[in-house]
Amino acid sequence: MSEAATPTIAADTTQPVLSARNVTKQFKVAGGHITAVNDVSVDFHAGKVLAVVGESGSGKSTLARMLLRLMPVTSGTITYLGKDVTTISGRELRDYWRDVQAVFQDPFASFNQFFTVGHMLKRSLRLAELSEGGEAELIEKCLGYVGLKPDDAVYKYPHQLSGGQRQRVMIARALMMNPKVLLADEATSMLDASLRVSVLNVLQSLRAELGLTVLFITHDIGQACYLADEVVVMEHGLVVEHGTTDEVIFSPKHDYTKRLLADVPDLKGSLKSRSWQPDAPAAVTTRAIDRKDA
């Protein structure tokens, strides 16, 4: 597999970077088993963002864990750049983990509270097998991708960073490995709306600048709509709908997709009966109020 060098994947739509074929995962439970992921086949093309959406328990994260080779598949194959990686181990697996990086939901859980961010980033670099010396520059460059200056992060402890900063540090950490594929599992769901947009914008620009392939797992169709080229909808371990973002979100075929879309809270809508009319401008005057007198 490749050295840690600038990614040179051309936008090739014929051969996928990463692909899952008939992947199934069963968990044993008392009196039988549960099929968490059921015969799923998905292709990830270079420089594209593919979103996997579905409610809790639909198998999104299990699929991600198998793609990351953090969990063995029950059946099926995972192919990376044309090579079967379903059962690789040792050196090969390490190389795979360098190319396929992940960012998870809770940025706080991914940090060791006792180490500074700089220390954590340097430890991660062991996997990149850099020669001595280039570390500081690489850390600076990758923090730059996510809009952080080294002074903002390197000497700080995790609790001194905001949630958005922590998540951006995790993305920077993943980028230091110079990955071909970035897997973001609910990476923005703990962030508030304005930070969420800034992290999504980071992912968008990385795709444009580095040709990164992104697998974006979310339960929020709005985020998929903003970022993704393709959307896969999962329900109870099955892929129930798969298509371009426009197809899936604006003309959904499957009932489950329609229900997911209907459940999305709408900023301009309401569950309460309202008959809102803007006040006639002339009727409203701007006045000062003083709480202390009230």
Partner 1 sequence: MSRMLMRASNVTAVYAADDGRDVPAVDDVTIEVPEGQIVGLAGESGCGKSTLGNAMAMIANPPLYVINGTLEIEGQSIDLRTLDPNANRRHRKYRGDVVSLLPQGAMNAISPTLKIRDLVVDVLRAHDRNYAKSDAIDLATDRLKMLDMPTRVLDSYAHQLSGGMKQRMVTVISTLLNPKLLIADEPTSALDVSSQKALIEMLLAMVEKKIMSGVIFITHDLPVLSMVTDRLAIMYAGKVIENGRTEDLVHNARHPYTAALLASVLDPTEDTRTKHVLGIPGSPPNLGNPPSGCRFHPRCRFAMDVCTTKEPATLAEGDHEFACWWAKEHPRQSVPMEVSHA
Residues forming contacts to partner 1 in the complex (CB under 8 A) are: 55-57, 162-165, 190-198, 200-201, 219-226, 245-246, 249-250, 259-261, 263-272, 274, 276, 278-279, 281, 284-292, 294
Q: Which is nearer to partner 1, 26 or 198 (CB)?
A: 198
User: In whole angstroms, how close is the CB of 62 to partner 1 at the nearest point?
Assistant: 15
Q: Which is nearer to partner 1, 97 or 104 (CB)?
A: 104
What's the CA gap between 87 and 89, in Å, rounded?
6
User: In whole angstroms, how close is the CB of 200 to partner 1 at the nearest point?
Assistant: 8
- Say if residues 121 and 176 touch (Cβ distance below 8 Å): yes
What's the CA gap between 191 and 150, in Å, rounded?
22
User: In whole angstroms, how close is the CB of 267 to partner 1 at the nearest point?
Assistant: 5
Phi, psi at residue 25, to the nearest 5°?
Answer: -130, 125
User: In whole angstroms, how close is the CB of 97 to partner 1 at the nearest point?
Assistant: 28
Name residues whose C-beta falls within 8 Å of residue 188's C-beta, 6 or more positions apart in sequence. 167, 195, 196, 199, 200, 218, 223
Q: Which is nearer to partner 1, 102 or 224 (CB)?
A: 224
User: In whole angstroms, how close is the CB of 121 to partner 1 at the nearest point?
Assistant: 20
Helix (H, G, I), strand (E, B) or coil at 117: helix
Q: Apex CA 88: angle with CA 169 and CA 26, to 5°?
A: 85
Q: Which is nearer to partner 1, 100 or 154 (CB)?
A: 154
Name residues whose C-beta falls within 8 Å of residue 157's C-beta, 6 or more positions apart in sequence. 113, 114, 115, 116, 117
What's the CA gap between 246 and 225, in Å, rounded?
8
Residue 134 exposure: Cα atoms within 13 Å on the Cβ side = 13
User: In whole angstroms, how close is the CB of 75 to partner 1 at the nearest point?
Assistant: 27
User: In whole angstroms, how close is the CB of 227 to partner 1 at the nearest point?
Assistant: 9
Q: Which is nearer to partner 1, 138 or 234 (CB)?
A: 234
For 227, the token pair is 């970022």
Name residues whose C-beta falls within 8 Å of residue 250's C-beta, 6 or more positions apart in sequence. none
What's the CA gap between 294 and 291, in Å, rounded?
5
Q: Which is nearer to partner 1, 90 or 265 (CB)?
A: 265
For 124, the token pair is 């991660």
Q: Which is nearer to partner 1, 133 or 281 (CB)?
A: 281
What's the CA gap between 207 and 175, in Å, rounded?
12
User: In whole angstroms, how close is the CB of 170 to partner 1 at the nearest point?
Assistant: 16
Q: Which is nearer to partner 1, 14 or 275 (CB)?
A: 275
